[in-house]
Amino acid sequence: MSKNFDWTTEEDQDWEEYRPSPPEAPSPGPRWRRWLLLLFLALLVGGILAYQARREVSAVTADVQADILSSQALLEQAKERDDLEMFTTILSGRDAQWTVAQQTLFQRGLLWDRQPFGLNLLPTEAAVISVTVSPDLQSAEMLVERQYAVAQTGDPLPDARETMTIPSPPTTETVSLLLPLTFRRGEARWLLAPPTDDYWGNWRQADGHYITLIYPQRDEAVALRLLSEMDAQVKTLCRFEPAANCPGGWQLLVRLDTDPASLTAVTDPQNLLDPNPVFDLPTPSLVGLPVDETGYQILAQAYAGKVVNRAIVDVVAFAGQPTRAGG
């Protein structure tokens, strides 16, 4: 009996079932998680460092502001004691003309008082509104609010012979003005200093019917409102005052000066008779910036009153010189 044998060779076997599976690719998940963790840690460290840096800058700025406030307190003390020597120690000497102007204002009681504009400084404590320190910590701008009293008379009687009514007593109105101050770092302390030319910006010009106004860019918003009031009052003068004969084409050139010496010059009555064709008045940032509509109206009336007085003088001069060019 024969036996059948099934011979198989290695080539005949199906090796698929024995072929090992290829190794699986590692999951990308852990690697991305590691990157996200590193990114989070970097952001966390960066945030901590930035926070610490801000705290250090804030601390330095706070120290600088405290030093500036100390100098401001010395200014107030010097004014209260009427001590020119103390006042001078807090003045910057970088501009001799500016320094002399400040000393003159101090001696004449006009450092903060604005009597030439009908504003009497009240003996109340000044309020420091803000102190803005420059990035290089070498200069700062301060806004100080001061209180002023304005005396206003009551309405006049129609005819004292026809009534026994007693005239209304004068009423006192209080207004606030903001006075900008510039300080610079000195060797021993922060010093009151003149602002830079960039502080005022470019000179600009605006034309009304009778007034041509030249003003620094910094005070443009207030200057344009002043122009409207000044022009309106000069227009009233020219149209309704019989003694005023305003020739056609006549204009008054007014400049809002940035020199603090203009605060002194405005007190001189001879200033109205100055033959200079330009009538200089201190710019509002020197006089004080109104904080509300009441303050603006009082300031505008003060400026307009001075311009009207000069207009009367100027119209007379213009009438005597028919060939003079307007403005």
Instruction: Copy the structure tokens of residue 117.
Output: 């504009």
71-100 confidence digits (pLDDT tens) = 999 999 999 999 999 999 999 999 999 999
Tell me the DSSP string of 219-238.
GHHHHHHHHHHHHHHHHHHH
225-257 confidence digits (pLDDT tens) = 999 999 999 999 988 876 677 888 889 999 999
Q: How far is CA 131 from CA 57, 65, 78, 144, 158, in A?
A: 15, 7, 21, 9, 51
Q: What is the DSSP secondary structure assignment for residue 177, as one 8-state letter?
A: E
- 137 pairs with which residues across the strands? none
Instruction: Copy the structure tokens of residue 111.
Output: 């450092």
Question: Which residue in this structure is represented by tokens 């450092």?
Answer: 111
Residue 225 near residue 300, CB atoms below 8 Å: yes
Radius of gyration of the chain from its Cα atoms, rounded to whole angstroms: 38
Mean pLDDT to the nearest integer, 269-288 = 91
Burial 67-83 (b: 16+ CB within 10 A, else e): ebeebbebbeebbeeee
Of the pLDDT bands very low, low, confident and very high (cuts 50, 70, 90), residue 167 is very low
* Rounded-to-integer distance, Cα 182 and Cα 190, Å: 10
Instruction: Copy the structure tokens of residue 169.
Output: 């007593």
Tell me the DSSP string of 251-295.
-EEEEEE--TTHHHHTT-GGGGG---SEEEEE-HHHH-EESSHHH
pLDDT exceeding 70 applies to what percent of the chain?
75
Of the pLDDT bands very low, low, confident and very high (cuts 50, 70, 90), residue 154 is very low
- 214 pairs with which residues across the strands? 205, 255
Instruction: Copy the structure tokens of residue 89.
Output: 């120690």
Mean pLDDT to the nearest integer, 41-58 = 63
